[in-house]
Copies of this chain bind each other. A is one copy, B any other.
């Protein structure tokens, strides 16, 4: 058996280059997870996902508890077998979606009572039930159930919310079934308040989790505030455990967060954008639905080595989106995931080489260029 471990391989100022080991293999950090909400990366086969370079997948407790249910997944051999993903899997706690997606959610000290957004049925999610679900799913990294304090909360609201999350973290740690090669992350809350973030980290450190989620960010506070919070939060987090910035973010958010010492990221942006027509490129982004691409024989990004850019023109992708062909979503998602994974690979390389500042300067210079001019 393999112990759950985090190895710090190199640093460049506050940025870290590491490796996480799980019962289902390793992943290199900083990493960007493949978003597989309902046990599938939308519009992608597993082979296509692997080819982008993704090593860690994230699945969603809220979606899977409703359909097909964690008991069903367990009966079928767990998530790895169910979705044919042999690599490591992280699951979120379900808390964020219970509060944002479900109908009529009531929170109290025990947990949350909510209605399914699918069929209106009534469900309960407590710290203990969330741990049980994630165990049934056979997730390699279990996230604690917490309350994502909403953006704009007062110090008093944020303190009350964070302290409940810390009481839940204690219940989660108690309910977590320890298994070789499996880990559990506590989640730092405290909104934009330095004293609360510090208090939260102290509580989680005492519970000795295998890693830290940074919660309550990338929810509308803006990049400047987000980076400020990281600046006063991260120095208090112990260095020998991985740090996961939940739900973040744009390429620029990720670059800045890596500079501040974040190791793990997840975001629906590359997959969701891939289905709606937004493509990420070295020079920023583009909307493939725009008529300027209709006769453009060039790939999305001349510098990109993904199968979409190697084989298809902007004109073809534009045609697929105009005709609402599924292949359009497949090819653009493939490109976007490749873009994100390539960004992570380059960030890892720059940290190893000790040249992260130069890399980041180049990154912003390229992004500022904007898309190439349309064909004549």
Q: Which residues of A contact B (CB under 8 A)?
A: 38-46, 48, 63, 67-68, 72, 75-77, 82-84, 294-295, 297, 307, 311-313, 315-316, 318-320, 322-323, 325-327, 329-331
Contact B294 A325 (CB under 8 A): no
- Copies of this chain present in the complex amount to 2
Neighbour of A319 across the interface among B68, B75, B329, CB < 8 A: B68
Point out the residues of chain B lying under 8 angstroms from A82, CB to CB.
Answer: 313, 315-316
By beta carbon, the residue of chain B nearest A45 is B330
A68-B315 contact given A75-B295, A76-B297, A295-B76, CB 8 Å threshold: yes
Point out the residues of chain B lying under 8 angstroms from A311, CB to CB.
Answer: 46, 84
19 further interface pairs, Cβ-Cβ under 8 Å (given A45-B307, A68-B294, A75-B295): A38-B319, A38-B325, A39-B316, A39-B319, A41-B327, A42-B326, A43-B330, A45-B48, A45-B330, A45-B331, A63-B323, A67-B322, A72-B295, A76-B297, A76-B316, A77-B297, A84-B316, A326-B326, A330-B330
Taking the closest CB of chain B, its distance from the CB of A337, in whole angstroms, is 14
Q: A331 CA to B84 CA in the complex, in Å?
A: 12
Q: Please give me the 4 A-B residue pairs with the lowest Cβ-Cβ distance, nearest first.
A: A43-B326, A40-B327, A84-B311, A68-B319
Point out the residues of chain B lying under 8 angstroms from A72, CB to CB.
Answer: 294-295, 315
A83-B316 contact given A72-B294, A76-B295, A295-B75, CB 8 Å threshold: yes
